[in-house]
Amino acid sequence: MPERSSNIPTVDPEEILEGIQKWVEIETPTYEGDAVNVLVDEVEEGMKALGAKIDRTPGKDGFGDILKTRTPWGGDGPGILVLSHLDTVHPIGSKEEYNPWRREGDSVFGPGIYDMKAGAYLAYYAYQHLVRMGKQTPLPVTFMYIPEEEIGSPTSRALIEQEAKKHKYVLVTEPAREGGKIVTGRKGVGRFEAVTRGVAAHSGSRHADGRSAIREMANLIIAVEDMTDYAHGVTTNVGMIEGGSGVNVVPHECRVEIDLRVPTQELADEYEAKILGLKSHHPDVELEITGGINRPPYQKDEGIQALFDHAKELCDEIGFELEDMHTGGGSDGCFTASLGIPTLDGLGADGVGAHAQHEQIYFSSLEPRAKMWIRLLETLE
């Protein structure tokens, strides 16, 4: 790692908050690609004004566009990839209905502010600061903005992995955890859908003729939930269920969605096979299971440890202690870390309430985190 500089940048947290507000007030639910693209337009315009090279890939399957921008310096060699997503879980109207933009003491509220528009803007601000100061970083910096991370990045994963392979480091602007900790490990994530199909019948006069899809699904739900193994860090969750057509009808069909979290690739392979291998208990009821691991586990290795140590020393200079942690939530950092590229995640603002109606950031975290971002871009080589 390079030698450190004692030149700690000066930043304006009020200006940072003003920029975050502009992004937050453009609502961007994942499945509304046109809405996401309003913010993509905003980010693209800002990056162009800062001299960045622009590469915009049209969205697929109704999702927003994938925006990639690169510093005008550094050539085409491997550099730093900054990963952000612009989509949120919050529907249009959330900023009026339940979480309007407001500042109460140290907390600043708004839909998607914590996960992760504040973090995405902090990285943008760091680049803006460097341009204003007339500085260039030792490595070129590529910023990639993803439109559908909240559902696993199905249309952007290939581009993320392709781009990551061209870089030495990946920095992810997901929110900080538990008082400002960054993330150096995540569980892998699996998503599955199970469907049972039986035989419909009148529940009163012809009950014996029916074959209940819901009853068979109950067997599957118990089997899946019983796979949870806290000692080994494995959790399985049947989180959504839909079935039946009427209370007086033996149900013909039932559907559930299953979430799997696993800490290692070995366990990911094992539990993916277990879930996909489940069978129906009744010969007249069909069971179909689809899906699999959509985010590989992200495990701290020597490269990640060295990158964290570097960031920690920079934060010591700035004046705060940087800590790291492993978390159960997935992110696009899972893709890059699993490729063996040193990846730091959770570099966004501190706060609380990801995906919740009280989502908020702590204003006090903006200044030190912005300085951290600037120093990371200035010193990684």
Hey, where are the domains in the chain?
A: 13-186+298-379, 188-295
pLDDT the model gives residue 6: 56
pLDDT the model gives residue 7: 79
Alpha helices in 5-87 (DSSP H): 13-24, 33-49
Q: Which tokens sit at 298?
A: 């992200």
- At 228, is the secondary structure helix, strand, or coil? coil
Mean pLDDT, rounded, for 287-314:
97
Summarised one tens digit per residue, pLDDT across range 5-58 is 457 999 999 999 999 999 999 999 999 999 999 999 999 999 999 999 999 999
Q: pTM for the complete prediction?
A: 0.91
pLDDT the model gives residue 59: 98
Of the chain, the end-to-end C-alpha distance in Å amounts to 7
Q: Which tokens sit at 80?
A: 């730093």
Cβ distance 86 to 28 under 8 Å?
yes
**CATH topology assigned to domain 188-295:** Alpha-Beta Plaits (3.30.70)
More reliable by pLDDT, 2 or 332: 332
Which amino acid is it at 278? L
CA 220 to chain centre: 29
Mean pLDDT, rounded, for 119-146:
98
CA 222 to chain centre: 29
Q: At 75, is the pLDDT very low, low, confident or very high (cuts 50, 70, 90)?
A: confident
Tell me the Cα Rg of the chain: 23
The per-residue pLDDT of the chain, averaged, comes to 96
Residues pairing with 194 in the sheet:
256, 289
Query: Domain spanning 13-186+298-379: which CATH class is it, in words?
Result: alpha beta
Q: Residues, the chain, total? A: 381
pLDDT the model gives residue 3: 44
Cβ distance 223 to 336 under 8 Å?
no
Q: Is the pLDDT of residue 317 over 80?
A: yes
Summarised one tens digit per residue, pLDDT across range 186-207 is 999 999 999 999 999 999 999 9
pLDDT the model gives residue 329: 87
Alpha helices in the chain (DSSP H): 13-24, 33-49, 94-97, 118-132, 157-164, 213-225, 265-276, 302-318, 333-338, 366-379
Cα 140–Cα 342–Cα 361 angle in degrees, nearest 5 = 85
Cβ distance 30 to 147 under 8 Å?
yes
